Structure formats: structure tokens, C-alpha cells
Amino acid sequence: MGRSLSLISILLAAGFPAACSFSTASEAQIRMDAGGLGSVDVRLQNDGNNTFESDGNVTCVVTNPMATNVPPDILIVFDRSGSMQEDLTGMSCGNAGCGATSKWTVATTTMSAFLPTVENAVNWGLKLFATPGRDSCAVSTTAEVTPHAANATMITTLLAAPNSAPGSSTPTTLAIRNAANYLKTVPDPNPKFILLVTDGIPTCGKAMCAAGVNVGTGSTMQCDDANAIAMVKTVHDEGYPTFVLGVGTSGSPGDGTLSQMAVNGGYPRSGTPSYYPIDQAADLTAAFQAITGMVGKCSFAVMPPLKTGQSVTEVDADGTALAPGDYIITGGGGGVQLLGQKCDDFTSGTIKNISVQVSCNG
């Protein structure tokens, strides 16, 4: 029979001083008491030994705290649709394409220059859509590059490969769904995010496109706005927030769609539009810098990692429960990021300790 308990779990905190590093419990130390049920707090004692005491009959964890830098995992979900061959104003350059001025070239070369500067602050990964070598609307369930430190060269090489060149439809809904499913299989406890880089309207759907939207003809080119917007919200609620970058989309019919996706993703840009508009190479660098700055601090991983059926039920700052708007659950429930003023308070040292309460089913 299942037991529903509550425990204080330790967080690996981005930006914590290295001097606060301690050992974690072995599997043998994690145990369930055969006694009563109820809510149990496991708290750090003030004995100088970094040990814990429980206020109930049931002990779910015996451990010492550990704090260390935890770079977030960010999976770049990159649009390789045929329209990425246009220039940043949306103009076609004919059969030869736009070369160095195309959306694809500007985006890939700018990323290739920027990623090496932050490859130790973020574990970058890459997923292309549609998947190269497959049907125009097909998206694989894996990633071309697994999120990991020092991945810039691998990502750059893959983006430059002839097989990666744009030429597909825009199966955004399936790309977001499969990206989140893939991140669920990444075993590290780090917070996890999706970064969508696209140049417009999701296709591969069954809906008629809005007036003024021209995405070509054929069954694979039907619009899929509503499903893509809903899917971003779905995976956000599963613990995988999404940033949205629109390449050459300012003022286009896709503005509203991308803005709503950005809102549903949990990290909208301040101002209008809500997504990050990329009208020149400098915009892409600025967007990546802003996003890296946001996720590279105040990010925590719950340790030991949560098991199936467990979830974070409360986040506490110095023993006081935070309001839901002060944080976001990431990584499928295994990570936490502080938001707004609470992040500022943690960074400045006003908040000293972050802990979580986790449902404990045994």
C-alpha cells in the first residue's frame, strides 16, 4: 500500500559557493520506517556536523547536504524548413537561395560564434525539425546532439553538414512533443529547457491557414497553430519550459502564434512581441545572452533525483514556503528555478538556503 509523506530534499544550487560541498547519502541510507504515516520534515541540525533530524516516526532520508554549480540543460529545437532559405525580410532569392544573407546562414553562423563563449555555463543540445533524411513532417524521438558541456563544436559541425540544410515543412507541434519526451530520458538531475528557433507558422497540421498566410500547397502544408500553442503549454506543465526565438518574423502573420507560444512556454520576453524577434545577427546573440543569463542562475537540481511517482510539492526559502509565482518546476519535476525578486534575493545573499518538500511514496 502506498504511503504519502513529505520530506525536505537537498538542492544542487547554481551559484552556490564551492565550500558548501558535502557528501550525499548512499542508497542504503535512504530508508522507510515501518511506523506511522503523515507529514514529516527532515531539517538540518545546528550541530556543526551538517546532519539532519526528523520530527516524525517515518524517516525518508538520512543524508548530508551538497551544493554545487548545476548548469541547465537546454535543447535547441531548430527549424530547417524551406523558408529558412529566405532572407531575414522573408524575401526569396530564387532557386539559388540567399546564401550568406539567408535566415539559416545568419542563425547558424551566429550561434556557432556565440555557443563557445557559454558552453561551460549551459549544457547545450540540438534537435532539428523536420529530422534530416526523413519525411518533410517527420521528427525523430532522439536528438542530434545530447545536452552536455563543451558541445559547441559538435553543434556547429552538425549545422554545417549538407544533410542539415533547410528544405522541410515546419512540424513544430511534433518537434516540441518529441523534444520534451527526449529530455525525460536524459538522466542528469539538471533543470531542463527547450529553446525553439523557428521562422514562422507551424505546418503539418489539418487546419486552414489564417488569411494572409501563405505556406505553400499540399496536405503537408496545412497550418497547425492551435496545436503548437497548446503543445508548448502541455510540455511546460510537465516541467519543460520553452523559450521562443522567431527568425525574420517581425510583423509577419506568425507574430501572434509565436507570442502565445512564448507566453505558454513560461519565459516570455518583456515587451512586444512576447517571443525574441531575430531581425539581424546581433538580435540572436542578444537573445542567447539574455536566455543564458536567466537560466544560468538560481537553477537547482533536487538530490537525490526524484523517482517515479514523486513530485515537488513545495519550495522553501530559509524555511518559508514560496508562492507559486516565485519559482518554476523544471526538468520534469526534478529541477527548480527561482524567478524575479526571489532570484535576486538569492543572488544577493538575502536568501541563504533553498529546500523543497517532495511527495514520498513507498
Q: Which of 1-15, 168-182, 188-202, 314-328 reaches the highest mean pLDDT? A: 168-182
CA dist 82 and 136 (Å) reads: 10
Tell me: pLDDT of 359 over 60: yes
Over residues 334-351, the mean pLDDT reads: 87
> What is the set of domains in the chain, with CATH numbers?
12-69+297-361 (no CATH), 73-295 (3.40.50.410)
Average predicted confidence (pLDDT) for the chain: 79
244 or 31: which leads in pLDDT:
244
Tell me: pLDDT of 81 over 80: yes
Over residues 99-122, the mean pLDDT reads: 92
* Per-residue pLDDT, 215: 62
DSSP 332: G
264 or 16: which leads in pLDDT:
264
* Per-residue pLDDT, 211: 62
Residue percentage of the chain with pLDDT more than 90: 49
Classify strands 42-44 and 52-54 as parallel, antiparallel or unpaired: antiparallel
CA dist 354 and 336 (Å) reads: 10
Tell me: pLDDT of 42 over 50: no
Q: Which amino acid is at 28?
A: A
- Reported as a pLDDT band with limits 50, 70 and 90, residue 347 is confident
Tell me: pLDDT of 269 over 90: yes
30 or 165: which leads in pLDDT:
165
* Cβ–Cβ under 8 Å, residues 24 and 64: yes
Tell me: pLDDT of 134 over 90: yes
| b/e code 283-301 from CB counts within 10 Å (16+ = b) | bbbebbeebbebbbbbbbb
- Reported as a pLDDT band with limits 50, 70 and 90, residue 361 is low
128 or 59: which leads in pLDDT:
128
Over residues 213-241, the mean pLDDT reads: 82
* Per-residue pLDDT, 341: 93
Q: Which amino acid is at 13?
A: A
Q: Which three cell numbers stand for residue 18?
A: 564551492
CA dist 129 and 140 (Å) reads: 8
CA dist 223 and 184 (Å) reads: 28
